[in-house]
A and B are shown apart, each in its own frame.
Chain A
Amino acid sequence: MIAQHMPIIQIILPLMAAPVCLIIRHPHVVWIWAVAISLLCLPISVSLLMQVMDTGTIVYELGGWAAPWGIEYRIDTLNAFVLVIVSAIGAVVMPYARRSVEKEIPVSRIYIFYSMMLLCQTGLMGIAITGDAFNLFVFLEISSLSSYVLISFGTDRRALTAAYRYLIMGTIGATFYIIGVGFMYSATGSLNIHDLSTLIPEMAGSRTVQAALAFLTVGLGLKVALFPLHMWLPNAYTYAPSAVTVFLAATATKVAVYALIRVTYTIFGTVDFLDIVPARDLLMGMALIAMFVGSAVAIYQVNIKRMLAYSSVAQIGYMILGLSFDTVNGVAAGIIHLFNHAMMKGGLFMVLGAVMYRIGSVHLHDMAGLGKKMPLTMAAFVGGGLSLIGVPLTVGFVSKWYLIQAALEKGWWPVAALIVVSSLMAVIYVWRVVEVIYMKPAGQAAENATEAPMSLLIPTWVLIGAAVYFGIDATTTVDVAVAAAEALLGGAR
């Protein structure tokens, strides 16, 4: 009985739990509440994924109204996988948040923080689960509005301007998205994504539908932070509180990539765009530039949080590159990287949160000598860094392996070469940090540092450990990603 309603419970649970935080108010109790909710969300999404893998797509009609009139939640392999990513990261970040938040956010505002975290998670999972294009917009705004608030919690006043700029850019992106949805609606009279996927291809020649694709791609591109629409990301990630950076870096852009996959492959999947606009070639070009510009700028950063933020811009490039191949292997590589990057970047930002907790700074020079002071934390950084580079036995290798394979399959060896070269750039920026933390003597800031507390260390190692585990035994993730990619491309070709 209850199992049948799993899809809606997944969303209702954190949505209802968020306002409860405002009633509880006590910082510690609110934290326990938020942890409990996020831990409940994880088994639900895992069971949904298993159910989808066993029995195929789950369709849930909200209020019993049949689509396309009612809103339906439509869960296939791809969005079940994204749901697992978001809820897993949520379940790891919430326990981590307590110590980190105590240090970075005034006690009187902590309850708002957890309320916003839960709302943000609701929004992100809602984007993943919904089968309705306009409903997706509403969830997009729920997650965006709460993330603006979360970013503005940062201690530095630049967090405020970062949040403001993200608000402007994010709202433009979301508004572009509804313009696109509006055009699709006026052309087809439907908002249901599944319905649109059969109606849109018939009308591919119409200007309205073509304009819709342009607006949807640019709007979601802003949310994805695809080069050159990434301007909001570095400051937002740098000045947000550590726990927020972990959560957003690991989930927000990933979910936006998911939405982009839905638009380009589900709705417009069967449309042959090469006749109209080389949309996928454009995506590939931007992805390649992102890989290089992101990595190159990352090399010159002294604020390590900002360095990782630029590295995210580059990594998003890899995901979009995978999508632009338009083959099962390519799309699967993009989806695998979505999961892998969530783990490694989440873990790396958690390391920085622990550093922030101990020495109150994440500047390269202040981190000198931390290798001896905080050995376990820094070992996690090395683990995550190796994964970022794509060293064998880490998840980064698995994604790049599939990505290169997909490129070679198409005979695009220059693209494969570019992937390798940009990975070498990751070696440079990761090595800079490793060199300073292990080989330089401890400076003033790091002199009295001790190992991070267990409550920060364990979540960090859960993510870094997962990044190594799924690097050695990649069969599960690869199977899911390939199944998802086949489902996306299957119908058409």
Chain B
Amino acid sequence: MAFPGLLNYWLIIGLMMIGFYIVIAHGNLIKKIVGLNVFQVSVFLLYITMGKVEGGTAPILAEGITAYSNPLPHVLILTAIVVGVATTSLGLALVVRIRNAYGSIEEDELDVQDDRP
């Protein structure tokens, strides 16, 4: 296998795990959303990588070109990006309201406040 080989996939898995770890390990609500974004973006890259055809160009019809990359994953990911943006903005909006209601965005402090009614 030539140099890049499955390198893309390894990088994507690395990115995926970093994002997932941030979501689980961090108590700060904003950082959790950042982690979630990293996690989602790694999946976008997974789709893009899988759509690439070796030697293929952008899928625009032109003379003299026979190999095209698969455009379908790109289209799917456009949709997924929109969903990701919506999720992020909704998550951040919730963080703003949590901050107004609790005065904090640290998970453990929220738990302390909820236990003491």
Contact B97 A171 (CB under 8 A): no
Among A172-180, A382-390, A439-447, the stretch that binds chain B is: A172-180
Q: Determine if B39 and A149 form an interchain contact, defined as CB atoms under 8 angstroms apart.
A: no
- What residues of chain A have their CB less than 8 Å away from a CB belonging to chain B? 134, 137-138, 141, 145, 148-149, 152, 157-158, 160-161, 163-164, 167-168, 171-172, 174-175, 178-179, 182, 185-186, 191
In the bound assembly, the distance between CA atoms of A179 and B49 in angstroms comes to: 13
- Asked if residues A179 and B98 are in contact (CB atoms below 8 Å), the reply is no
**A152-B97, A175-B39 known; A182 vs B50 contact (CB < 8 Å):** yes
Q: Chain B, 32-48, contact with A by CB distance < 8 Å: what is the 0/1 string?
A: 10001001100100110
The 7 closest A-B pairs by CB, nearest first: A157-B101, A186-B50, A141-B83, A164-B94, A160-B98, A160-B97, A167-B91
Please indicate which of the listed interface residues A134, A148, A178 has the most CB atoms of chain B within 10 Å of its own CB: A178
Closest Cβ of chain B: how far from A444's Cβ, in Å? 18
Q: Which residues of B (83-109) have their CB < 8 Å from a CB of A?
A: 83, 86-87, 90-91, 94-95, 97-98, 101-102
CB distance from A184 to the nearest CB of B (A): 11
Query: Is A160 a contact partner of B101 (Cβ separation < 8 A)?
Result: yes
Question: Which chain A residues border B27 with CB–CB below 8 Å?
Answer: none
| A145 CA / B40 CA spacing, docked (Å) | 16
Given A138-B79, A138-B83, A161-B114, CB of A168 within 8 Å of CB of B32: yes
Cβ of A148: which chain B residues have Cβ within 8 Å of it? Answer: 90, 94
Taking Cβ atoms with an 8 Å cutoff, the residues of B that contact A are 20, 23, 29, 32, 36, 39-40, 43, 46-47, 50, 73, 76, 79-80, 83, 86-87, 90-91, 94-95, 97-98, 101-102, 110, 114
Nearest Cβ distance between residue B38 and chain A, in whole angstroms? 11
Task: Please give the distance in Å from B76's CB to the nearest CB on chain A.
Answer: 6
A167 CB contacts on chain B under 8 angstroms: 87, 90-91, 94
Cβ of A484 to closest chain B Cβ, rounded Å:
29
Q: Are A145 and B36 in contact (CB under 8 A)?
A: no
Decide if B23 touches A172 in the complex (CB within 8 Å).
yes
- Chain B residues with CB under 8 Å of A186's CB are 50
Tell me which residues across on chain A come within 8 A of B91, comparing CB atoms: 164, 167-168, 171
* Interfacial chain B residues near A149, Cβ < 8 Å: 90
**Which residues of chain B have C-beta atoms less than 8 A from A172's C-beta?**
20, 23, 36, 39
Q: Which residue of B lies closest to A174 (CB)?
A: B83
Question: In whole angstroms, what is the CA distance A392 to B110 when docked?
Answer: 45
- With A141-B86, A179-B46 already in contact, 6 other A-B pairs whose C-beta atoms are closer than 8 Å: A148-B94, A160-B94, A161-B114, A164-B29, A172-B23, A182-B50
Flag if B94 contacts A158 (CB, 8 Å). Answer: no
**A182, B40: Cβ atoms under 8 Å?**
no
| Bound CA span A168–B101, Å | 19
Check B86–A145 contact: CB distance below 8 A. Answer: yes
Smallest Cβ distance from A301 to chain B, in angstroms? 16
Cα distance A185–B98 in the bound complex, in angstroms: 39
A137 to B79, CA, bound (A): 10
Please give the distance in Å from A180's CB to the nearest CB on chain B. 10
- Give 19 CB contacts A-B under 8 Å: A134-B79, A138-B79, A141-B87, A145-B90, A152-B94, A157-B102, A160-B98, A161-B110, A161-B114, A163-B94, A164-B91, A167-B90, A167-B94, A171-B87, A171-B91, A179-B46, A182-B47, A182-B50, A185-B50
Say how far A421's CB is from chain B's closest CB, in angstroms: 33
Q: Is the CB of B79 within 8 A of A171?
A: no
Q: Are B86 and A171 in contact (CB under 8 A)?
A: no
Q: Assuming the A-B contacts A164-B98, A172-B23, are A179 and B43 also in contact, with contact meaning beta carbons closer than 8 angstroms in the complex?
A: yes
CB distance from A132 to the nearest CB of B (A): 11
Q: How far is the CB of A406 from chain B (nearest CB, A)?
A: 37
Chain B residues with CB below 8 A from A137, complex form:
80, 83
Please indicate the chain B residues that have their CB under 8 angstroms from the CB of A191 in the complex.
76
| A158–B114 touching, CB < 8 Å | yes
Distance in angstroms between the alpha carbons of A182 and B43 in the assembled complex:
9
Q: Are A175 and B40 in contact (CB under 8 A)?
A: yes
Q: Are B36 and A164 neighbours in the complex by a CB distance under 8 Å?
A: no
Q: How far is the CA of A134 from the CA of B76 in the complex (A)?
A: 8
Chain A contacts for B102, CB-based, 8 A = 157
Return the chain A residue nearest B44 by Cβ: A178
Query: How far in angstroms is the closest Cβ of chain A from B90?
Result: 6
List, in ascending order, chain B residues with CB within 8 A of A152's CB.
Answer: 94, 97
The complex places the Cα of A191 from the Cα of B77 at a distance, in Å, of 14
Q: How far is the CA of A157 from the CA of B102 in the complex (A)?
A: 8
B46 vs chain A, min Cβ distance (A): 6
Which A residue sits closest to B70, measured CB to CB? A189
How far, in Å, is B28 (CB) from chain A's closest CB? 12
Nearest-CB distance from B65 to chain A (Å)? 21
Q: Let me know if B87 and A145 touch, CB within 8 A.
A: yes
